Amino acid sequence: MKRNLKNTALAIGLMALGMVGCQKDTLNQNFTDSENLDYQIQSLVTQTDNESDVLEVYLDDNTSEIAVQNEGIPTDYLVTSEDLSETSGAIGGNTDNRKHIKDNSFLRCLKGLGLDSDQYRKLAIILAEFKDCNASAIKRARTIHAELQKKYKELAEAQIKLYKNNEITKSELEARLKRIRMAFHKELRDLHLKEKLADAFKNCHDKMLRQLHGILTDRQWAAFVKCYKR
């Protein structure tokens, strides 16, 4: 009798340990999954933010017009629900002025994922909220860009005038215009950081990606992340 009681107690103890072990494994797995998602999203957010550092600066030697690509705003932040086709929900409509955004943003990574109609509906809502979230920062970024354009256009005009008056050589002009482009880009980026526009964009981006993760399957999300990392 005592032996049976001991065996029963031992069995119950082993079962309890097994249950605790399973619960611990589940908690660890959930924690790992959460950490992995945070890491993936943070990587994508940082990647897009870093694109601000490599946006091209255009300067016309003849007109002195100067501008940073996308007015200094990474393409991903310019995506809106309007970039989804109104007829079928398919990504990539034919509006010319949105083509660059569609071809060079995260939208290209949603193509081929086999999104169903419900996912497209939810995606449109997410992108509409993304647009609203970014609106204030985009407006301020464009204002800053316009103000700097005027400043650096005048600097470029002064150098071009010196060249036309034969006061500097062609190579000197090119070197000075290059420095002007670099200075324009640096001041634009610095002002974005100073006014916390970069933080605002990153927060909206993080929120959007988490919402997007919520409507995609594990397979779709994995394919999206793989495509997005470039």
Q: What is the mean pLDDT of residues 108-134?
A: 95
58-67 tens-digit pLDDT? 999 888 999 9
Residues 6 or more apart in contact with residue 129 via CB below 8 angstroms: 208, 211
Count how many domains the chain has: 1
Q: pTM of the entire structure?
A: 0.79
Residue 27 has pLDDT above 50, yes or no: no
On whether the CB atoms of residues 192 and 70 are closer than 8 A, the answer is no
* Domain extent for 18: 2-228
Residue position matching structure tokens 């200094």 = 72
